[in-house]
């Protein structure tokens, strides 16, 4: 089967010149590169990165290509394919001509699930060996099936969740880009904190070295809430001090498009997300949501499950502390993985732009901060298959509710978001209160706490 070089060569500009970045289709559109942590690409094995679209997966693939070339890998032994442009047969032939016949190399398959029969192709390729495969995907059901259908093919331990930037990553990115920040107050804050560092576990935070920089870190955290850690939103703010309507629209198209690709109704998705938005930090259950929006509770469960697998939300279940397991029949909480998502959803449902987004964040900042805390703690622990969210994350309620409770080393640790008024409660576990600016033996400013949290082994 013949392949048009006019389709192949533009996707692989490093084949013909040393300074290829300016000719790369994806990198040309990127104003700022937001560096993430490196992952361990193991020779001869399959690495999978899955996460919501527009979170930066394609750009990160190009970063990996650059690092491979810097390490001495021959340019022409690196093959990148955007899988929405090729059939399985075409990819098989391309791999044979451009990798296998050259004695091996690296195959990078972007959005692999767009290619019909991709799981069969990857199975075949990994059985042949002789090269390393890196695949990305945003469709939650299909990319998860990839791992389940390829046991023993080298993917174990090489699967990663690709998330928006954490607050810590956001700060480090701004430090590298401080000369490009048009917001003078933000630039001053970044300049002041550029040399500090702190990294710790959420159950043992050590923020003493961060105290003198509280005002600067808090200023940066406030901006982080508006960007949600998404590269497009960060780029918008660095250039214009606001988030563009196009970025909000892009994010909603990504979310609705994900449900459409899984043959779900866009209208039902909209209704369920609108209900989730109206709940804020409140508890609910599938039956109550179904009753409110006139849907069967099984339909609600399916759609919310899809949104969770799409890395849009987390569903938190309450802990039965005595049995050390979740009470799955009790009320749940819906957590948005990024503060940009509910802001975009609000604009999508009610209209508006940057001014409306500012108003939404201001009015809902306590709730949004609570969700950011939950997602960040999950990111420190989460790892595909062997350390999924359900094994360690939840919350607790009886007479009072503890916003987030983590099970680690057979013990429970509570985290209460108190960005507003600090009120303590008695819980059957140690609890840390995360405030706006109050400091005490059991209380710390949220921004300083989040600054020190590093994503775990399974998250990028």
298 contacts 285 by C-beta, under 8 angstroms: no
Q: How far apart are CA 118 and CA 260, in angstroms?
A: 19
Cβ–Cβ under 8 Å, residues 127 and 425: no
Q: What count of Cα atoms within 13 Å lies in the side-chain half-sphere of residue 3?
A: 19
Nearest residue to 384 via CA among 55, 49, 119, 41: 49
Cα separation, 332 vs 353, in Å, equals 31
Contacts of 88 (CB under 8 A, 6+ apart): 115, 116, 117, 118, 120, 121
pLDDT of residue 90: 85
pLDDT of residue 157: 62
* pLDDT of 273: 93
Contacts 24+ apart (CB under 8 A), 330-333: 330/285, 331/283, 331/284, 331/285, 331/397, 332/283, 332/284, 332/285, 332/286, 333/281, 333/282, 333/283, 333/284, 333/395
* Angle, CA 169 vertex, CA 179 and CA 201 arms, to 5°: 145
Which tokens sit at 93? 């032939």
Strands 332-336 and 313-316, sheet pairing: antiparallel
Query: What stretch of H or E contains 319?
Result: strand 319-320
For residue 46, give the nearest of 338, 363, 384, 322 by alpha carbon: 384
**Torsional sign, CA 55, 419, 405, 330:** negative
HSE-CB at 189 with a 13 A cutoff on CA atoms is 21
**Phi, psi dihedrals of residue 441, rounded to the nearest 5°:** -60, -35
The pair of structure tokens assigned to 220 is: 């940066």
Q: SS3 for 140?
A: helix
Element (H, E) at 161: strand 159-161
How far apart CA 130 and CA 1 sit, in angstroms, is 22
Give pLDDT, residue 150: 53
- What does the alpha-carbon distance between residue 116 and residue 447 come to, in Å, rounded to a whole number? 45
The H or E element containing residue 276 is helix 266-279
Q: Which tokens go with 297?
A: 């509770």
pLDDT of residue 96: 82
- The whole-angstrom separation of Cα 383 and Cα 157 is 9
Q: How far is CA 314 from CA 59, 94, 455, in A?
A: 25, 39, 16
At 204, list the tokens.
């043992």
Q: How many C-alpha atoms does 341 have within 13 Å on its Cβ side?
A: 31
pTM of the model: 0.91
Q: Which two tokens stand for residue 445?
A: 């400013």
What is the DSSP code (8-state) at residue 113?
A: G
Q: Which CATH architecture has domain 5-161?
A: 3-Layer(aba) Sandwich (3.40)
Domain boundaries, the chain: 5-161, 245-451
Helix 266-279 to helix 286-293 angle, to the nearest 10 degrees? 120
Contacts with 18 (C-beta within 8 Å, 6 or more apart), sequence order: none
Q: What is the rounded distance in angstroms from the CA atom of residue 452 to the CA atom of residue 460?
A: 16
Mean pLDDT by 10 residues, the chain (460 residues): 74 85 80 77 85 84 90 91 84 81 86 78 76 80 53 63 93 91 94 91 94 96 97 93 96 85 86 94 95 96 91 95 94 96 95 96 97 97 86 95 97 96 93 96 97 91
Residue 383 is classified by DSSP as: B
Residue 58's CB is within 10 A of a number of other CB atoms, namely 21
| Those residues with Cβ within 8 angstroms of residue 196's Cβ, 6 or more apart along the chain or in another chain | 209, 210, 213
Q: How is residue 216 written in tokens?
A: 């600067």
């Amino acid at each position: 089967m013949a392949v048009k070089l006019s389709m192949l060569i533009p996707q692989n500009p490093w084949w013909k010149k040393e300074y290829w970045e300016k000719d790369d289709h994806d990198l040309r559109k990127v104003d700022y590169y937001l560096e993430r942590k490196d992952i361990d690409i193991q020779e001869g094995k399959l690495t999978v990165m899955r996460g919501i679209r527009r979170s930066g997966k394609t750009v990160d693939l190009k970063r990996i290509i650059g690092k491979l070339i810097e390490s001495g890998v021959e340019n022409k032994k690196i093959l990148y394919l955007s899988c929405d442009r090729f059939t399985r047969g075409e990819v098989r032939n391309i791999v044979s001509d451009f990798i296998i016949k050259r004695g091996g190399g690296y195959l990078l398959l972007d959005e692999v699930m767009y290619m019909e029969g991709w799981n069969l192709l990857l199975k075949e390729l990994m059985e042949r060996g002789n090269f390393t495969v890196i695949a990305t995907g945003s469709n939650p059901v299909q990319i998860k099936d990839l791992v389940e259908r390829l046991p023993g093919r080298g993917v174990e331990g090489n699967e990663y969740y690709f998330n928006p930037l954490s607050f810590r990553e956001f700060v480090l990115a701004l430090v590298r880009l401080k000369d490009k920040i048009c917001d003078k107050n933000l630039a001053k804050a970044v300049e002041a904190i550029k040399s500090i560092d702190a990294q710790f576990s959420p159950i043992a935070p050590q923020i003493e070295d961060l105290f003198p920089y509280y005002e600067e870190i808090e200023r940066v955290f406030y901006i982080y809430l508006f960007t949600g850690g998404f590269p497009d939103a960060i780029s918008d703010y660095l250039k214009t001090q606001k988030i563009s309507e196009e970025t909000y629209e892009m994010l909603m198209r990504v979310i609705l498009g994900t449900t459409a690709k899984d043959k779900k109704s866009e209208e039902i998705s909209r209704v369920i997300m609108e209900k989730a938005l109206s709940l804020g930090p409140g508890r609910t259950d599938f039956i109550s949501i179904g009753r409110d929006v006139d849907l069967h509770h099984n339909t609600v469960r399916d759609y919310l499950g899809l949104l969770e697998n799409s890395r849009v939300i987390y569903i938190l279940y309450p802990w039965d502390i005595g049995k050390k397991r979740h009470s799955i029949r009790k009320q749940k909480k819906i957590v948005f993985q990024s503060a940009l998502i509910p802001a975009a959803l609000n604009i999508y449902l009610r209209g508006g732009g940057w001014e409306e987004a500012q108003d939404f964040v201001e009015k809902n900042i306590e709730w949004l901060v609570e969700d950011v805390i939950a997602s960040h703690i999950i990111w420190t622990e989460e790892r595909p298959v062997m350390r999924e969210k359900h094994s360690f994350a939840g919350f607790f309620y009886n007479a009072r509710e503890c916003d987030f409770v983590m099970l680690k080393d057979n013990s429970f640790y509570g985290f209460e978001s108190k960005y507003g008024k600090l009120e303590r409660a008695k819980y059957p576990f140690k609890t840390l209160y995360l405030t706006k600016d109050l400091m005490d033996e059991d209380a710390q400013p949220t921004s300083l706490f989040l600054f020190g949290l590093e994503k775990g082994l399974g998250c990028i």
